[in-house]
Amino acid sequence: MRTPSVRRMLRSVPALAIVLGLLAAGISWIGSATPSFWFDEIATLMAARLGGPGLWQFLQHKDAVHGLYYALIHFWIQAFGDSSVALRGFSALAVGLGTAGLVVLGSKLAGVRFGVLAALIYLVLPRTTFMGIEGRSYALAAAIVVWGVIALISAARRNTWWSWVIYTVVSIATIYLFMYAGLILAAHLAYLLFAHRDRRTLLRWGISALIILAAVLPLVRAGYGQRGQIAWLSGQPIVNAWTTLVEPWLDGSWLLAILVIVLLVIAGRRLPQILARFGTPLVALAAGWAFAPLILMLIANSLFGPLYTSRYMSFTTPGFALLLALAVSVFSRRWIVWVLVGAIALASLPTYVAQRGPYAKQNGVDFLQTAQTIAEHASPGDAFFLQNDKTTTIRPRLSVNGYPAEFAGLEDLAFVRSDLENGNFNDVTLPPRKLGERLRGVSTVWVAGSQHTTPEIKAMKRELARHGFVERERYPLNRTVVTEYVREETR
């Protein structure tokens, strides 16, 4: 029996999907340990550390729409730990899964070369590389959306009951991973209207859609009941041309935005050529995938808002990659196509590097650096007090929730209990004026507070001074100041 050559194997769709999937996962994973966790990622860890009963109780109060993701991460961190490399590694692998899916999907729709183009574009887009370094459900939801489209195409072509069952189950799982991903059903319908207009196919899709909607109704009701947790969006200037036409796919890259606009304008002028070569169904799917959920979300935001922020549209990024693959494919010379793919990658590079900086998350949060500073300079038996003003998601107290290992062997002066099972990501802590008893026998206290001194930190300084503590060393970080206090007689 003749053994296939490596070159022939690499031309096969499964092999290409695996290779590009691994490449995408690796690219996303690079630098994953450098940026500090931000609030949402720490929320993931706090919820995922709960056991089954505790997580279920928590979800009755908050984040019901993320319950499936938290359950998956619970098992993941049980196996691989809760470090930033481990948590973000899950998302990097999900990016790889989505990239592999695009190879398969593109090959089904327009041939292997198109599938490879779409996958290569997807893996370098700034929103993709953001998802791959984010400990949230965006990357996995985007990946399952890709495979959901594959399931749709297979069901429409085979039109067997079991293929529609697979499509229905994948779609339900997608929505339970990320509720807004249910908007992809609009793109599914757009594809079917152009690719399969026969009543039998549309009827079976309609039945599947009704089953999907019925199955996710409990999630939608729970999400609506907990809608107050995204009320913060009302105070954000988030709905404008930049956040709706650039950020969903290109993050903050001006350079790439210019290149993409040029490519899409050229593609628009050559639309008849694209339609003749690739067919209306593929163009409808790509455009519907990229834009239909966005349009529906903006309509809902104006009617029922606040609901929108650009990262919520991450699951549309694979569709946008299909659009760009169509745009670069209009050029007849192959070398021009590959130069354009390289240009997309190079234009994305500055954003990729910025995403992996130490202060890349949420306005430069420094929870990691706070934890590392205390761990590096503190001695076993020292105590710490972390600012815990519960009105902000940048409170230093979150450092201990994100990096508990860094505080091992130290005394948490103010901690009373976690309030997580009641739906609060805030630890219950004592105010400084009640720490007198806990300060007895302590010789060194590490205090972390924002650079602009808050009433809580002022009160802590007074309490420390009352018990004979004086400042010995200050460590200014990006947003936080870590200060070492020692009893005067131990200086």
**Using CA atoms, how far apart are residues 288 and 319, in angstroms rounded to an integer?**
8
Measured in degrees and rounded to the nearest 5, phi and psi for residue 441 equal 85, 0
Whether residue 447 contacts residue 462, with contact meaning beta carbons closer than 8 Å, is answered with no
- Residue 1 pLDDT greater than 60, yes or no: no
If you ran DSSP here, which 8-state letter would residue 194 be given? H
* Banded model confidence at residue 332, pLDDT cuts 50, 70, 90: confident
Q: What is the mean pLDDT of the chain?
A: 93
The predicted model gives 66-79 an average pLDDT of 97
Longest Cα separation, the chain: 87
First to last CA, the chain: 80
CA-based nearest residue to 311, from 148, 149, 133, 147? 133
* Banded model confidence at residue 198, pLDDT cuts 50, 70, 90: confident
**Using CA atoms, how far apart are residues 270 and 327, in angstroms rounded to an integer?**
9
Answer whether 0.85 is exceeded by the pTM. Answer: yes
Calculate what percentage of the chain has a pLDDT beyond 90.
83
The predicted model gives 446-457 an average pLDDT of 92
Geometric angle at alpha carbon 425, from 421 and 429, rounded to 5°: 95
Specify the pLDDT at position 236. 60
| Residue-wise DSSP of 426-444 | SEEE--GGG-HHHHTT--E
In sequence order, what are the beta bridge partners of 418?
427
Full set of structural domains in the chain with CATH: 6-355 (no CATH), 367-490 (3.40.50)
Asked if the peptide bond before residue 306 counts as cis, ω within 30 degrees of 0, the response is yes
pLDDT tens readout for residues 375-429: 999 999 999 999 998 777 889 999 999 999 999 999 999 999 999 988 889 899 9
Tokens of 132: 């791959």
Kindly provide the b/e burial profile for residues 170-190, where b requires at least 16 CB atoms within 10 angstroms of the residue's own CB: bbbbbbbbbbbbbbbbebbbb
Specify the pLDDT at position 303. 87
3-state secondary structure of 386: strand
CA-based nearest residue to 351, from 124, 68, 179, 143? 124
Rounded alpha-carbon distances, angstroms, from residue 226 to 64, 375, 392, 413: 8, 37, 19, 33
3-state secondary structure of 361: coil
pLDDT tens readout for residues 146-183: 999 999 999 999 999 999 999 999 999 999 999 999 99
**Using CA atoms, how far apart are residues 45 and 236, in angstroms rounded to an integer?**
26
- Residue 469 pLDDT greater than 50, yes or no: yes
CA-based nearest residue to 157, from 149, 213, 57? 149
